[in-house]
Amino acid sequence: MPSAIEVRKVPIHSVADASELAKLLDDGVMQADRVIAIIGKTEGNGGVNDYTRIIADRAFREVLVEKGADPQQVQEIPVVWSGGTDGVLSPHATIFATTDAEPSDELRLTVGFAMSEQLLPEDIGRTAMITKVAEAVRVAMTRAGITDPADVHYVQTKTPLLTIHTIRDAKSRGKTVWTEHTHESMDLSNGCTALGVAVALGEIEMPSDEDVMHDRSLFSSVASCSSGVELDQAQVVVVGNARGVGGRYRIGHSVMKDALDQDGIWEAIRSAGLELPERPHHTDLDGRLVNVFLKCEVSQDGMVRGRRNAMLDDSDVHWHRQIKACVGGVTAAVTGDPAAFVSVSAAHQGPDGGGPVAAIVDLG
């Protein structure tokens, strides 16, 4: 049976800052050698060349080593950074660590991690990627002690996108790639990965190559997929609930139907186990919400609740940044906290124009 989980959210005060993680470790809230995953937001541009992700990654791993964790073990910890804190969003990290707790028959938070086989540039956007991701999700579920896919509420992934270098590599071997536009490959990698999550959890049947990025009726309600230049495998963190692990925390999920769907966020929080009034206010959370994790996507028809918007036509500010700022503002208004994990590029993650929402709560 996996260990119980301690989870805390900490602010990031500058691009290379990991001082709040160091404080958690110094105060004995967590032990450096028991940290198993970190998921956070950095203040970069969120694009292919967002190096704040690499800077933050180094800063947090260096603190873990400084505080006593084995350097080799630290290099294997899944650390997933989503770049871009547009609008009111605030840079932060959510730290997961194992802890000792009395076993409980209640459903409580559990985490499992796995890496896929190597993803070649020609795999990205195709069924080969879906298959490799699905296999890694199943391994992570097993490591989390989860047997029922219904107990999986959040699957955070990090996968490679295409760069000029990897496109050239594929061509040198006589292979083709789905797209030669590196920024478009971010959406592609995320969307194809989400289909792999959906297949692993039985949310959909195995799609075809033609379905990728085209059939938006195919999606996962729990996938949160990011991509970057940092790795050449799918890094998969499965977060759910299991009986027997014990601990104070529980996770739940829902979906936002569109960019303004506050009810979807509240439903995720209720799903995690908090009792709330019919028309809740952020003060009703009473400090029990650890964090929410959302993906968002501009609606492909350029509409929100019957009103036209110009995000897809804007040549000055990419829609990635606009929808992230929009959903980030809606989320902060719900939770009362701008330090929320809101990530863009949600193809096949929740319904078109919406996205998945996961919430972790402290049940005491």
Residue whose pair of structure tokens reads 């603190």 in the numeric block: 63
Pairing state between β 233-242 and 108-118: antiparallel
Q: Which residues, at least 6 apart from 50, have a Cβ–Cβ distance to it below 8 Å?
A: 42, 44, 83, 84, 228
Set 220, 226, 343, 345: catalytic member: 226
Could you say which DSSP state residue 300 is in?
T
Strands 249-256 and 4-11 come out as unpaired
**Is 23 marked active-site?**
no
Token pair 């439903």 is at which residue? Answer: 267
Catalytic residue check, 172: no
Concatenate the DSSP letters of all residues of 213-260 into one string. TT-TT--BSSEEEEEESS-SEEEEEEEEEESS---SEEEEEEEESSTT
| 9, 187, 201, 204, 214 from 208: Cα distances, Å | 39, 17, 17, 12, 10
Cα–Cα distances in angstroms (integers) from residue 124 to residues 113, 169, 186, 187, 215, in the given order = 21, 13, 10, 11, 17
**Degrees, nearest 5: CA angle 230-215-323:** 55
Q: What SS3 state is found at 338?
A: coil
Nearest to 193 by CA among 231, 164, 233: 233
DSSP secondary structure of 95-124 = EEEEE-----SS-EEEEEEEEEEE--TTTT
- Edge-to-edge strand list for the sheet holding 355-362: 249-256, 355-362, 289-296, 341-344
Give CA–CA dist 165/231, Å, rounded. Answer: 13
Rounded to an integer, what distance in angstroms lies between the CA atom of residue 114 and that of residue 117?
A: 10
Q: Which of 9, 41, 132, 158 is catalytic?
A: 158
Which residues carry out catalysis?
158, 226
